[in-house]
Structure 1
């Protein structure tokens, strides 16, 4: 051979030897036994590289197992530096290209397995909680946070232990969590007119627990809700539930959108500070008491210059700052109590209705409150308690409170502030109380009157029937004909639709 030919022959032989060596190594590191073991280890770490499935002799198994352990350890090291991911994503990453039936059973929960029971609930961790795979092995690279809630859809019983599934192939041990049903909620539910059966809940679902039915129109607070078979369930006690066939959330009656809305909890004072000072232009019960203290007439109850002058003299005599403004200290110097200073402002008529009340019952609550003022003194700008008096719009405001209607910004405190004496005009202009045809008037409607000389609204009453109203008119709260010289009838408005 010449030298060139010899060199080419040697290179060819060497290349062939290298190729044969690589094929032998590849065959040694991919076995069916390795694939099965790799799947099991992938389940323990929830994420491992995909492996190929080929065949080789049994003599290679020990070497393969050592290679797998190294690979799993590297996978754990990599995952420890990464944020937690959902188990579903991790399981997908761990799926081999080909799986036999045993590998599939260990990598995905089988809802038909005898040790698995479907359920619908929530598990709340007692503390940091270890996760387990379906075969009971520990998932070592993440835990659940303490006092956190997780949806569960399966119960697994394995080797005498109970587990709840919180993600694909991830389970929490029952010893480390508390199982509950439904979702946390806060509200009030009312029983319908035929009463309500009592239910309890277990893993199989809701069932009648044999307790007595709950009374028609009774009202209950609930703290959890759940759903089953198209019904909503409300937990009103420890594993005591009512369902939406027999009960309902929300009031039996509510005004349409755009009207004054009905509330089912006690209305609070609004429109200013409870314990507001008295100064020029303020009206209401506290001013009425101050004027009476100094001997002034209350034909019109207003804090004016004469009152301010008398207040300054009192303050000088008592060693108080001479401001002409009645604050709490000046009020007490007159001999009035601190309790009255705040109590007069904060009075809101107690709620006389609830979520079971009908339209008629709301109207009767309004009228019932108005009657509590019957015979009391007319006081301009007043909208406080029946122990004193009110004016016409103050009577309406407190009557509405009793029926569950808050007419804010028209309110009890706002009414006494300068510029708000004529709240009858504000009610007339309020679009949340629609005008109705005069011929369709009925009990509970508001009737308005104008000053004959100006045509401006100056009076409002509450209809008791088509021709009679309860009103506050100088100088007392009384029942009177709507045709009894109160000015010209401007029209009628309806509070309850």
Structure 2
């Protein structure tokens, strides 16, 4: 690009640090005995397409000043004639504004300045760069501006619009037309409208003139006239928020077993040694049994069960992690009503009916659970994560009585009057001898609940006195 054809460069710096590195290199080229340095962008790709990176320098073999000047002149001449850069025979013909992100391929992507000179800076492979301008040339080449005066050849990158973002969008009652995106904007795809009230996963979002767009297919977009990410039902303030995507484990799956740990892995270890499970706790008897086993198996004698000890007992690595990481599959979505969420919670609870009561357990329906473990997994299925209560946390020492945490969490599980209780509410009980909360169940109706009580999961009247005194009721969905 000669002077009269130069692109007017915006003052805002898209990639902070890039121009600084270029100025450093120019200064170094004027010193007599210093090594020529080239700059290379060091960046780690992120899930956010708006990522920026900084340029740092890497030393190469020293050259004399004369050699430096000659090399720079040769480089400029070559940059103006080679296919990779804009030169005297490849003048710009248009510079439309774009709002996108370019992603580099498997190799370094060279950069060029506004005159077509190749810079001593390259973009790292597989990284994302904001671009605000597309430059087309007479020779049919395309360049994208990624900094104040730095362009990357379009053949070395792929262009996406908007930003990377995952979620679920639902179509409104009248259906949604789809559009394709290009530099000139959105254009009707000509395809049939998406079905009313259908839901779609999206991978990118964009906003143009105040209108939101979601990419639900390969360059297939729907907008906020016809779709929304707002769910049919949301919990009001004062309740746990509802997730419309699968809840993930909270904590580290594969935790070791040591003094005080409960749950299914402890249950299986105690069972292996023939120890009773009236109360499933990794206690002194368990520790001693594990020590003897480790000594006989040639393992480090710690009394703790790690993965090696677990596998030596004949259990699988898949179970070691899988028992901990189980979170009930989400049974609701953004089209779900309040009633749908309640039924999802109850439906998950019924999957455990007949399984044994196991203290500190909150894993899959393949195993037993205790009362708060049952409620935790039921909540997961309906889109509720009752943190700090979680399936993994429940097995750790001191967290057996999660029913107490739930009862005390009035900021998310508000108490309600007994006269207002209904299906899907939680009912709490106190130990008759201490008056302390020790049990929780899920109401099926005003007088019946599903719960886990020694020795199994089942349904019963809330007035069964042996389960304690009714402390009160709390609501999960407002």
**Residue among 484, 488, 493 paired with 2:469:** 488
Q: Does 1:220 align with 2:201?
A: yes
Structure 1 residues 187 and 385: CA distance shift in structure 2, 3 A: closer
Structure 2 match to 1:466: 446
Rounded to whole Å, the distance in 2 between the matches of 1:488 and 1:389 is 24
Checking the alignment, whether the CA contact within 8 Å between 2:357 and 2:455 is kept in structure 1 is yes
Q: Does 1:128 align with 2:127?
A: no
Where do 5+ consecutive residues of structure 2 fail to align?
9-25, 28-92
- Whose helix proportion is higher, 1 or 2? 1
Checking the alignment, whether the CA contact within 8 Å between 2:111 and 2:119 is kept in structure 1 is no
Structure 1 residues 118 and 270: CA distance shift in structure 2, 3 A: closer
Q: Does 1:231 align with 2:211?
A: yes
Structure 1 residues 295 and 149: CA distance shift in structure 2, 3 A: closer
Structure 1 match to 2:180: 200
Checking the alignment, whether the CA contact within 8 Å between 2:145 and 2:152 is kept in structure 1 is no
Structure 1 residues 195 and 290: CA distance shift in structure 2, 3 A: same
SS at match of 1:128: strand
Shift in Å at residue 162 of structure 1? 9.9
SS at match of 1:222: strand
Structure 2 match to 1:364: 343
- Structure 1 residues 405-414 or 471-480, which shifts more? 405-414
- Structure 1 residues 230-239 or 442-451, which shifts more? 230-239
Shift in Å at residue 45 of structure 1? 7.2
Shift in Å at residue 123 of structure 1? 8.6
> How many residue pairs align between the two structures?
381
Q: Does 1:408 align with 2:387?
A: yes
TM-score by length of 2: 0.68
SS at match of 2:293: helix
Rounded to whole Å, the distance in 1 between the matches of 2:444 and 2:354 is 17
Q: Does 1:249 align with 2:232?
A: no
Rounded to whole Å, the distance in 1 between the matches of 2:4 and 2:457 is 82
Rounded to whole Å, the distance in 1 between the matches of 2:295 and 2:140 is 84
**Residue among 234, 238, 247 paired with 1:267:** 247
Structure 1 residues 373 and 177: CA distance shift in structure 2, 3 A: closer
Rounded to whole Å, the distance in 2 between the matches of 1:372 and 1:286 is 20
Checking the alignment, whether the CA contact within 8 Å between 1:190 and 1:249 is kept in structure 2 is yes
Q: Does 1:305 align with 2:284?
A: yes
Structure 1 match to 2:265: 286
Rounded to whole Å, the distance in 2 between the matches of 1:293 and 1:178 is 58
Shift in Å at residue 178 of structure 1? 8.4
Rounded to whole Å, the distance in 1 between the matches of 2:185 and 2:293 is 75
Map 1:329-368 onto structure 2 (within 5 A): 329-368=308-347
The CA deviation string for residues 356-381 of structure 1, in whole angstroms up to 9 with x for no partner, is 33322222221111111001101111
Structure 2 match to 1:449: 429
Shift in Å at residue 315 of structure 1? 3.3
Rounded to whole Å, the distance in 1 between the matches of 2:374 and 2:274 is 26
Structure 1 residues 149 and 458: CA distance shift in structure 2, 3 A: closer
Checking the alignment, whether the CA contact within 8 Å between 1:46 and 1:139 is kept in structure 2 is no
Structure 1 residues 438 and 182: CA distance shift in structure 2, 3 A: same
Shift in Å at residue 351 of structure 1? 2.1
Checking the alignment, whether the CA contact within 8 Å between 1:450 and 1:456 is kept in structure 2 is yes
Shift in Å at residue 302 of structure 1? 1.8
Shift in Å at residue 173 of structure 1? 12
Structure 1 residues 438 and 193: CA distance shift in structure 2, 3 A: farther
Structure having the higher Rg: 1
Rounded to whole Å, the distance in 2 between the matches of 1:296 and 1:150 is 65
Rounded to whole Å, the distance in 2 between the matches of 1:454 and 1:177 is 72
Shift in Å at residue 424 of structure 1? 0.5
The CA deviation string for residues 222-258 of structure 1, in whole angstroms up to 9 with x for no partner, is 3241324x43222333432201011112544332345
Structure 1 residues 202 and 388: CA distance shift in structure 2, 3 A: closer
Rounded to whole Å, the distance in 2 between the matches of 1:118 and 1:418 is 62
The CA deviation string for residues 306-337 of structure 1, in whole angstroms up to 9 with x for no partner, is 33333333334334444333333333343333
Checking the alignment, whether the CA contact within 8 Å between 1:282 and 1:303 is kept in structure 2 is yes
Shift in Å at residue 488 of structure 1? 1.5
SS at match of 2:387: coil
Structure 1 residues 177 and 307: CA distance shift in structure 2, 3 A: closer
The CA deviation string for residues 244-282 of structure 1, in whole angstroms up to 9 with x for no partner, is 0111125443323453222233323234x4232323322
Rounded to whole Å, the distance in 2 between the matches of 1:331 and 1:197 is 55
Structure 1 residues 472 and 436: CA distance shift in structure 2, 3 A: same
Checking the alignment, whether the CA contact within 8 Å between 2:111 and 2:152 is kept in structure 1 is no
Shift in Å at residue 140 of structure 1? 8.4
Structure 1 residues 222 and 451: CA distance shift in structure 2, 3 A: same
SS at match of 2:176: coil
Checking the alignment, whether the CA contact within 8 Å between 2:205 and 2:212 is kept in structure 1 is no
Map 1:374-389 onto structure 2 (within 5 A): 374-389=353-368
Checking the alignment, whether the CA contact within 8 Å between 1:442 and 1:463 is kept in structure 2 is yes
SS at match of 2:343: helix
